[in-house]
Chains A and B, each alone.
Chain A
Amino acid sequence: MKKSIFTVALMVVTCMAFAQKDLIESKSLVGIWQQAQVRKTTDGQSKIINTAVYKVLNADNSFVFFSISSNELNTNVSHWGTYKITSDSTYTESVTRHYTSPALDKSESQMRFKLLDENTLFMQYYNDANKMWIPEVWLRVTPRTPVTNIN
C-alpha cells in the first residue's frame, strides 16, 4: 500500500516539475496567450497588433485572464476557471469567478479553436445574446531569445 501511495505521490511531484515547461514550451492550446487584433495598414496590408490582454491556459486545465487596464500599467485579473478540450477544434471554458461581470460567475462558454501555426491561435466564442460566433486572435508568449548585448 505504501508503495502505491509513494508511486502516486512521485507522479504528482513529477507532473508539477514539468508543468511549467509544458506551459512555456507548449505547441498546443496550453500556454500563455496574448490577445491581438488584425488591422489594415495604410498600404492595405494586414497587420497584427498586440493588445495587453493575457490568457494563461495551464497544463492542469485551469485558466486565468488578466490585462493592463490603464496608462499607469495597472494590471488586474478579470476572471478564472477551468477548461476542457472536447475535440481537436472545440473546448469549453467554465468560469468559476468573473470579477468584472459577476453575473458570469459559474458560466460556461463554448469555444472553437484552430492553431494557425504553433504560436497563433484563432478562436471563436459563442455569443448567446447575438447568436453568433465572435472571432479572436491570440499570440503565444514565447521564450525570450538570449540577451547578447547589455547596454
Chain B
Amino acid sequence: MKKSILTVALMVVTCMAFAQKDLVESKSLVGIWQQAIVDKSPDGQPKVINLTTYKVLNADKTFYCFSINNLNNLNSNVIHFGSYSITSDSTFTESVTKHYAFPALDNSESLMRYKLLDENMLLMQYYNSVNKQWVPEIWVRVTPRKPVTNIN
C-alpha cells in the first residue's frame, strides 16, 4: 500500500516539476496564448496584429484569461478562470468557474472548435448560443524569448 501511495505521490511531484516546461515549450493547445486579429497592411497583404488579451491553458487542464485594459497605463486584470476538457482533435469545452467581468457566466460551459494553423497559431471558434453562430478567434503562442546578444 505504501509503495502505491509513494508511486502516486512521485507521479504528482514529477508532473508539477514539468508543468511549466509543458506550458512554455508546448506545441499543442496547452500554452500561453495572446489574442490577435488579422488586418490588411497598406500593400493589401494580411497582417497579424497582436491584442492584449492572454489565455493560459495549463497542462493540468485549468485555464485563466487576463488582459491589459488600458494601453496607456497598462492596468491588467483577470477576466475569468476555470477548467477545460479536450473532446476531440478539433474540439474542446471550457468550463468557466468564475467570470469576473460577466458574473452571469459563472459556472457556464462553452463549446469550442480549434485548429492549430501551425505550432504557434491557433484558430478557435466559440459557439454563441444567442446568435446561433460560431465566432472565430485567432491566438498566437507566447513563445520563449530569444537569447539577448546585445545589451545597450
Q: Which residues of B contact A62 (CB under 8 A)?
A: 16-17, 19-20
Residue of B nearest to A69 (CB): B145
Stretch at the interface among B49-57, B107-115, B126-134: B49-57
- Which of A50, A69, A144 neighbours the largest number of chain B CB atoms within 10 Å of its CB? A144
Classify chain B: how many residues form its interface, as a range: 35 or more
Residue of B nearest to A103 (CB): B147
Q: Quick one: which of B60-108 are within 8 Å of A by CB?
A: 60-64, 66-69, 73-79, 81-83, 97-98, 100-103
Please encode chain A, from 106 to 145, with 1 for each CB lying within 8 Å of some chain B CB and 0 for all others.
0000000000000000000000000000000000011111
Give the complex CA separation of A76 and B148 in angstroms.
12
Judge whether B116 is part of the interface by a CB distance below 8 angstroms: no
Interface residues contributed by chain A, number (CB under 8 Å) = 54
Judge whether B41 is part of the interface by a CB distance below 8 angstroms: no
Kindly list 20 other residue pairs between chains A and B, CB separation below 8 angstroms, not including A76-B146, A96-B20, A100-B147. Answer: A5-B8, A17-B62, A20-B82, A21-B81, A24-B64, A24-B81, A50-B73, A50-B75, A60-B16, A60-B19, A62-B17, A64-B20, A64-B23, A73-B51, A80-B21, A82-B17, A99-B144, A100-B146, A141-B78, A144-B100
Cβ contacts A to B, 19 pairs, < 8 Å: A12-B8, A16-B83, A21-B97, A32-B78, A58-B19, A60-B16, A60-B19, A62-B16, A62-B20, A75-B34, A75-B54, A77-B32, A80-B24, A97-B24, A99-B147, A100-B148, A142-B78, A144-B67, A144-B69
Query: B residues touching A (Cβ–Cβ < 8 Å)?
Result: 1, 4-5, 8-9, 12, 16-17, 19-21, 23-24, 32, 34, 49-52, 54, 56, 60-64, 66-69, 73-79, 81-83, 97-98, 100-103, 142-148
